[in-house]
């Protein structure tokens, strides 16, 4: 138990202690201490929040700009993650932050090594964190870091610098805008800087390249990315062992699909829309994924399971009551190949289930963008998924043309899709279809899209009977030391609340 205000003695003689003496690390040394499942979950969720924040800040700011740095400074502070190197011996609070940084990184490695998409996303955010921290180090701390990690790059002396000055100024990428004489110049074996050599950004002589201080980050980042990629591949190999632990498996698999943000579940919104409004709302305020599902339902009078879940939960989130949902799905299905009797026997149960009225009575929450994008890939005949992620670009273009998005808007969206910024592409679609320059929110959830749209179009929900509310209370995550396989659905549900309330 910890007591407020009391300080534990820093054990910096241990391996971990030594590690935490430095802000920056390549995460080569896994944590070796025992932690409780509750702490495991908490740390994982906190890092996930950090990664999502870094992603959002990176989307809205130029990554090496001063605004980007300032924004991250304040976000790291808010989320209580370390971002500054200290000259003196570290205090307990800093030690705790570094410990959290270290352990949480390794937990998310486990969760995010499972597929290529997840790995790519995780590595990108971690590289951005690394770059931000490295760039902020003082030169002496940078050198310290390089030497500690066997990157034995020295800086050249004043005399050598003077001799090479012309060459450095003429050949260095940074030379054109920055005074070379004011910078440290690193002398690095050329094979460690192939990117810079290939792009002719550095002076090369006798097997060494001369790299201005501000460009050394390129090398270190490459190294970090390579190490992390390899480590993720290795971690993926040990997944079967991790998955055989029935306490960890559901936690990890949920973490990889977890959405950190508000809860868009139904409780506060029931009865706020009428069934007659759905057609018009789908054109005005539904994100493309839901618009596509609605259109397909109206056309084919049927949706497969994946589509029914994604769309059904979304509708539940925007305010359909169970009775309305039953009426909505029933009236549509019986217009197709399903008669009323078959609907009542086969489909009504799953709708009641979705509302927590059947089975184990879990109240399912609407899917986040991350969940839609990363899980349950649609196949032929499916209409669920995220059109920005799962549609062929040509098909997406046709859809956007059909929805009257301007040619220049379509190009911007396709460009974002090409860069795999699916949520950003969706946000651009929002801006274009709502005629606003800046959406002013970071899209994470289809129901968030709906709420923001309603807010904009109706000045707080003109189309709805009352304004949709979202804030949630935090519910503690379940510590589950006694978990068994049969408890998995329950803990997943608890985790749903935990993540969405966080």
Contacts with ligand SF4, residue ranges (CB under 6 A): 287-289, 369, 372-373, 386-388, 422-423, 426, 446, 449
- Residue of 192, 213, 199 whose CA lies nearest to 171: 199
Write down the least CB distance from residue 388 to ligand SF4, Å.
Answer: 5
Ramachandran area for residue 103 (φ above 0: left; ψ -120 to 50: alpha; else beta): alpha
Write down the least CB distance from residue 290 to ligand SF4, Å.
Answer: 7
Which of 145/388 has CB closer to ligand SF4? 388
Residue 120's Cβ-count burial label (10 Å; 0-12, 13-18, 19+) is: middle
Write down the least CB distance from residue 425 to ligand SF4, Å.
Answer: 7
Write down the least CB distance from residue 311 to ligand SF4, Å.
Answer: 11
Question: Tokens at residue 290, please?
Answer: 């839901």
Q: How does strand 185-189 pair with strand 154-155?
A: antiparallel
Which of 325/373 has CB closer to ligand SF4? 373
Distance between CA 272 and CA 175 in Å, rounded? 62
Which of 48/369 has CB closer to ligand SF4? 369
**Maximum separation of any 2 CA atoms in the chain, in Å:** 91
Write down the least CB distance from residue 446 to ligand SF4, Å.
Answer: 4
- Residue of 315, 310, 271 whose CA lies nearest to 450: 315
CA torsion 133→136→139→141, rounded to 10°? -40
Write down the least CB distance from residue 286 to ligand SF4, Å.
Answer: 9
Which of 355/388 has CB closer to ligand SF4? 388
Question: What residues form DSSP beta bridges with 209?
Answer: 188, 204
Write down the least CB distance from residue 99 to ligand SF4, Å.
Answer: 35
Which of 171/470 has CB closer to ligand SF4? 470
Distance between CA 265 and CA 313 in Å, rounded? 8
Which of 133/445 has CB closer to ligand SF4? 445
Q: How does strand 208-212 pair with strand 203-205?
A: antiparallel
Write down the least CB distance from residue 133 to ligand SF4, Å.
Answer: 29
Which of 289/432 has CB closer to ligand SF4? 289
Question: Tokens at residue 233, please?
Answer: 């591949």
Distance between CA 318 and CA 446 in Å, rounded? 10
Quick check: 51 and 111 in contact, CB under 8 A?
A: no
Write down the least CB distance from residue 204 to ligand SF4, Å.
Answer: 45
State residue 411 phi and psi, 5-degree precision.
Answer: -60, -45
Q: Which residues contact 420 (CB under 8 A, 6 or more apart)?
A: 120
Which of 269/447 has CB closer to ligand SF4? 447
- Residue of 22, 24, 228 whose CA lies nearest to 133: 24
State residue 387 phi and psi, 5-degree precision.
Answer: -60, -30
Write down the least CB distance from residue 373 to ligand SF4, Å.
Answer: 6
Query: Listing from the earlier edge strand, what are the strands of the sheet with 203-205?
Result: 154-155, 185-189, 208-212, 203-205
Q: Which residues contact 90 (CB under 8 A, 6 or more apart)?
A: 10, 12, 20, 21, 98
Write down the least CB distance from residue 439 to ligand SF4, Å.
Answer: 12
Quick check: 300 and 318 in contact, CB under 8 A?
A: no
Write down the least CB distance from residue 59 to ligand SF4, Å.
Answer: 13
Q: Length of the chain, please?
A: 502
Which of 118/217 has CB closer to ligand SF4? 118
Quick check: 351 and 325 in contact, CB under 8 A?
A: yes
Q: Which helix (H) or strand (E) holds 383?
A: none
Which of 218/447 has CB closer to ligand SF4? 447
Which of 209/426 has CB closer to ligand SF4? 426
Which of 31/287 has CB closer to ligand SF4? 287
């Amino acid at each position: 138990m910890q007591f407020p205000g009391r300080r534990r003695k820093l054990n910096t003689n241990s391996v971990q202690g030594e590690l935490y003496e430095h802000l920056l690390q390549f995460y080569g040394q896994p944590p070796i201490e025992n932690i409780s499942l509750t702490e495991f979950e908490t740390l994982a969720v906190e890092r996930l929040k950090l990664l999502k924040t870094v992603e959002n800040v990176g989307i809205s700011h130029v990554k090496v700009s001063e605004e980007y740095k300032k924004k991250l400074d304040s976000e790291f502070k808010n989320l209580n993650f370390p971002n500054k190197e200290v000259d003196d011996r570290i205090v307990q609070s800093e030690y705790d932050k570094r410990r959290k940084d270290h352990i949480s990184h390794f937990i998310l490695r486990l969760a995010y090594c499972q597929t290529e998409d997840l790995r790519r996303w995780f590595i990108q955010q971690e590289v951005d964190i690394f770059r931000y921290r490295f760039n902020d180090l003082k030169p002496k701390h940078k050198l310290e870091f390089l030497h500690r990690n066997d990157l034995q790059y020295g800086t050249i002396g004043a005399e050598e610098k003077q001799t090479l000055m012309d060459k450095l100024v003429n050949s260095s990428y940074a030379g054109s805008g920055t005074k070379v004489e004011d910078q440290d110049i690193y002398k690095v074996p050329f094979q460690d800087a192939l990117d810079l050599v290939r792009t002719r950004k550095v002076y090369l002589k006798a097997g060494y390249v001369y790299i201005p201080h501000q460009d050394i980050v390129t090398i270190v980042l490459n190294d970090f990315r390579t190490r992390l990629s390899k480590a993720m591949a290795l971690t993926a190999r040990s997944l079967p062992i991790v998955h055989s632990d029935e306490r960890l498996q559901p936690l990890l698999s949920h973490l990889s699909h977890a959405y950190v943000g508000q809860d868009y579940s139904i409780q506060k919104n029931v009865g706020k829309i009428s069934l007659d409004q759905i057609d018009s709302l789908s054109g005005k305020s539904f994100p493309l994924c839901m618009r596509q599902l609605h259109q397909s339902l109206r056309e084919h009078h049927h949706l497969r399971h994946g589509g029914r879940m994604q769309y059904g939960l979304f509708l539940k989130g925007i305010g359909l009551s169970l009775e309305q949902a039953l009426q909505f799905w029933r009236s549509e299905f019986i217009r197709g190949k399903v008669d009323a009797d078959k609907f009542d026997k086969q489909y009504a149960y799953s709708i009641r289930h979705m509302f927590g009225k059947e089975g184990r009575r879990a109240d399912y929450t609407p899917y986040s963008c991350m969940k839609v994008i990363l899980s349950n890939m649609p196949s032929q005949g499916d209409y669920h998924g995220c059109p920005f992620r799962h549609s062929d670009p040509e098909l997406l273009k046709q859809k956007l043309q059909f929805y009257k998005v301007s040619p220049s808007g379509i190009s911007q969206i396709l460009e974002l899709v090409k860069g795999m910024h699916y949520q950003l592409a969706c946000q651009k679609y929002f801006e274009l279809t709502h005629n606003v320059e800046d959406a002013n929110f970071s899209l994470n959830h289809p129901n968030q899209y709906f709420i923001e749209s309603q807010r904009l179009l109706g000045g707080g929900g003109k189309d709805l009977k009352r304004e949709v509310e979202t804030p949630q209370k935090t519910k503690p995550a379940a510590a589950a030391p006694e978990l068994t396989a049969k408890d998995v659905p329950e803990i997943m549900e608890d985790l749903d609340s935990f993540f969405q309330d966080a």
